[in-house]
Amino acid sequence: MSHTFDISVDALTAPVSAPSVANGWPIRASDCAEAGLQMPLGSGRTFYIETFGCQMNAHDSEKVAGVLMARGYRPAKSMAGADLVLYNTCSIREKAAQKVFSRLGEWRGVKDKTIGVLGCVAQQEGEEIFERAPWVSLVCGSASYRKLPDLLAELESGGRRVMGLGLDTEETFETEMTRRDNPIRAYLTIIEGCNYACSYCVVPRTRGPERSRASEAILAEANRLAEAGYTEIQLLGQTVNSYRDPSPRGWNFSRLLRGVAAIPGIHRVRFATSHPNDFGRDIVAAIEDTPAICNHVHLPAQSGSDRILRAMHRTYTRAEYLGKILWIRAASRPISVTTDIIVGFPGETEKDFQDTLSLLDAVGYDGVFSFLYSPRPRTSAAEMDGAVPEQEKARRLALLQERQRQIQLARNAALAGTVVEVLADAYQAPRAQWAGRTSSNRVVNFVSSHANLLGEYLQVRVMRAGPNSLVGEHAV
């Protein structure tokens, strides 16, 4: 099995293109028995999942792959060779959603495959997908993945069209069988859905209301990951820091961070995405006290203008946001800060846009993911007046990206000559160069006289800095 990622919509980091590993593959009957499952109905059939969207989607695909393998499906090497083809989709912007239908078009009239649509487009479009692409036989949103085994059973016993679109679930999609694809960094969902109501955003509808997992279950999974050899864990949630432990011990997010970081063998704990409204000083304190908690916070601002923030229903003002940045900047350990910005929200004036540019200067971000506003179905912003012409949106985006490029260049240049700790996660053979990330999530390309550095923590001297990465030498 393999995933394709749409990097343009990946909110935080371009995924590492790591070699596929065989953790838990192929699944054995004994694994199924251990997980309390019966061995396979759909034995021998093969599947392929193509994934679009954010890290939560990428990780959901790993969970779905685990569920399929527990039913006896085997991963196919290519889509063409698979009996079951699944698209795990994203609908955050119009382009992402359109891409799904063009991909589905490639299977028009196909008879010998089962085609399914998962994820945010599945949830948003529902039955409409069967209308537009009648060769699809499975539509299931992320809040219903717990039902996937039943839906598959229905298909296996001759069902033609099955759907899972419930959003009222109280539970999360936990699975013992997750088939992780990245051998370096393990993703771990701690909270699903979103209870905010940003006026431009589809996520509360596509992923349903917020549900947190019990801290005991999270720690148990993190312990298993450490035992399996993972040293870096990334905690995931659309608003990861809104985490509220539903179990009696009632941990908040910073307590959970400390708990995961204390697990023997875990060297790095990352988390994304934080909502500014729930970002407290306790999170900064946890990072200060705990070297294993990465010194990086992704804190989407979306805009630097109070007027636009209000229209977006973001629940904070520019001053409140900057107040939180001050806590971060006052920390005893430097903490890098990245953000998401939407350009060209309805009614955004030149003055509002200038406020966003000045926010970039005021914060001094280490990275910015910037997007052209895209009107989405059934969001209140789509009904607002004052659409910004496409050309003007593009002009503003280019200006913003150039301003941020300069800021990053200066921030990265300040690191030249220092030694940073890098977790090596890729080797680029043509250039004989290794790549990895710092705790602050900077990409470092470096040369080394050593072989087999994958998964190693190394001291690397920074020789040069570009806006998006550093170039270094492995200091032995």
Binding ligand F3S (rule: CB under 6 A), the pick from 1, 3, 5, 9 is 9
Tell me: does residue 202 bind ligand F3S (CB under 6 A). yes
Between CA 388 and CA 335 the distance in angstroms is 35
Tell me: does residue 302 bind ligand SAH (CB under 6 A). yes
Tell me: does residue 373 bind ligand SAH (CB under 6 A). yes
Answer for the pair 462, 416: CB distance below 8 angstroms, yes or no: yes
Cβ-based neighbour number of residue 75 at 10 Å: 19
Tell me: does residue 54 bind ligand F3S (CB under 6 A). yes
Stretch that binds ligand SAH, among 163-171, 176-184, 246-254, 367-375 (CB under 6 A): 367-375
Tell me: does residue 200 bind ligand SAH (CB under 6 A). yes
Q: Write out the binding residues for ligand SAH, residues 239-298 only, by CB under 6 A.
A: 239, 273, 275
Nearer to ligand SF4, 93 or 474 (CB): 93
Q: What contacts 30, CB < 8 A, 6 or more positions away?
A: none
Alpha-carbon dihedral sign for residues 107, 108, 113, 115: positive
Binding ligand SF4 (rule: CB under 6 A), the pick from 211, 275, 296, 437 is 275
Stretch that binds ligand SF4, among 62-70, 201-209, 253-261, 358-366 (CB under 6 A): 201-209
Tell me: does residue 341 bind ligand SF4 (CB under 6 A). no
Task: Name the residue among 140, 157, 158 with its Cα closest to residue 208.
Answer: 140
> What is the helix (H) or strand (E) element at residue 156, kind and residue range?
helix 148-156
Between CA 422 and CA 414 the distance in angstroms is 17
Stretch that binds ligand SF4, among 31-39, 190-198, 260-268, 436-444 (CB under 6 A): 190-198
Tell me: does residue 239 bind ligand SF4 (CB under 6 A). yes
Between CA 86 and CA 48 the distance in angstroms is 6
Between CA 248 and CA 68 the distance in angstroms is 33
Q: What contacts 424, CB < 8 A, 6 or more positions away?
A: 434, 435, 436, 453, 454, 455, 456, 458
Smallest separation (angstroms) from ligand SF4 to the CB of 61: 19
Tell me: does residue 198 bind ligand SF4 (CB under 6 A). yes
Binding ligand SAH (rule: CB under 6 A), the pick from 16, 49, 92, 266 is 92
Binding ligand F3S (rule: CB under 6 A), the pick from 63, 103, 207, 376 is 207
Binding ligand SF4 (rule: CB under 6 A), the pick from 204, 208, 304, 367 is 204
Between CA 43 and CA 37 the distance in angstroms is 14
Binding ligand SAH (rule: CB under 6 A), the pick from 45, 63, 71, 93 is 93
Nearer to ligand F3S, 169 or 231 (CB): 169
- Residue 114 φ then ψ, to 5°: -100, 125
Tell me: does residue 327 bind ligand SF4 (CB under 6 A). no
Token pair in block for residue 247: 């179990």
Tell me: does residue 93 bind ligand SF4 (CB under 6 A). no
Task: Name the residue among 383, 459, 391, 398 with its Cα closest to residue 424.
Answer: 459
Nearer to ligand F3S, 272 or 470 (CB): 272
Tell me: does residue 441 bind ligand SAH (CB under 6 A). no
Binding ligand SAH (rule: CB under 6 A), the pick from 174, 340, 392, 421 is 340
Answer for the pair 152, 86: CB distance below 8 angstroms, yes or no: no
Tell me: does residue 201 bind ligand SF4 (CB under 6 A). yes
Alpha-carbon dihedral sign for residues 339, 345, 350, 352: negative
Q: List Cα–Cα distances, 17 to 184, 273, 428, in angstroms.
A: 11, 21, 11
Nearer to ligand F3S, 206 or 302 (CB): 206
- Residue 443 φ then ψ, to 5°: -85, 130
Tell me: does residue 241 bind ligand SF4 (CB under 6 A). no
Tell me: does residue 238 bind ligand SF4 (CB under 6 A). yes
- Kindly state the DSSP code that residue 19 receives in the 8-state scheme: P
Q: List Cα–Cα distances, 299 to 31, 93, 114, 311, 442, in angstroms.
A: 39, 20, 40, 19, 16
Sort 80 into a burial class: Cβ within 10 Å, 0-12 / 13-18 / 19+.
exposed
Binding ligand F3S (rule: CB under 6 A), the pick from 120, 269, 337, 381 is 120
Interface with ligand SAH (CB under 6 A): 11, 92-93, 200-201, 203, 238-239, 273, 275, 300, 302, 340, 342, 371, 373-374, 376
Interface with ligand SF4 (CB under 6 A): 194, 196, 198, 201, 203-204, 238-239, 275
Interface with ligand F3S (CB under 6 A): 9, 53-54, 56-57, 90-92, 119-120, 202-203, 206-207
